[in-house]
Amino acid sequence: MAIMIRVYGIPNCETVKKARAWLQAQDVPHTFHDFKKQGLPTDRLDAWLAALGWEALLNRRGTTWRQLDDATRAGVTDAASARALMLAKPSVIRRPVVEWGDAVTVGFDPEDWQRRL
């Protein structure tokens, strides 16, 4: 039985575009969850935080992070503060977040993804 692959992100993100194109090129069935249109499911965010840790999930290199004021950035010091920021601004989450059945990854790594299939 094939695993259900779910990709979370925003459609205009270049990394998400590459990841989705790669999955399509491999004929891998998957679903896409758009943070902008469908919102950020809090139960999934909690599962990702538990699986990956907040540091791996928080994108400190992206535009959204850079646009935050210094006080807001300095206030992100633990899982609870990172979670609150991610709920308020889902674009600060590193993308794509991919659920591979019961495993979860963040970012696009074609070699790792090939091994998972």
Q: Which residues share a beta bridge with 103?
A: 100
- Tell me how far apart the alpha carbons of residues 53 and 56 are, in angstroms, rounded to a whole number: 6
Are 58 and 93 a contacting pair, CB within 8 Å? Answer: yes
Q: Is-catalytic flag, 51? A: no
Residue 58 contacts residue 84 (beta carbons within 8 Å): no
* Active-site position among 7, 13, 40, 98: 13
* In the block, residue with structure tokens 């659920």: 99
Which active-site residues does the annotation give? 13
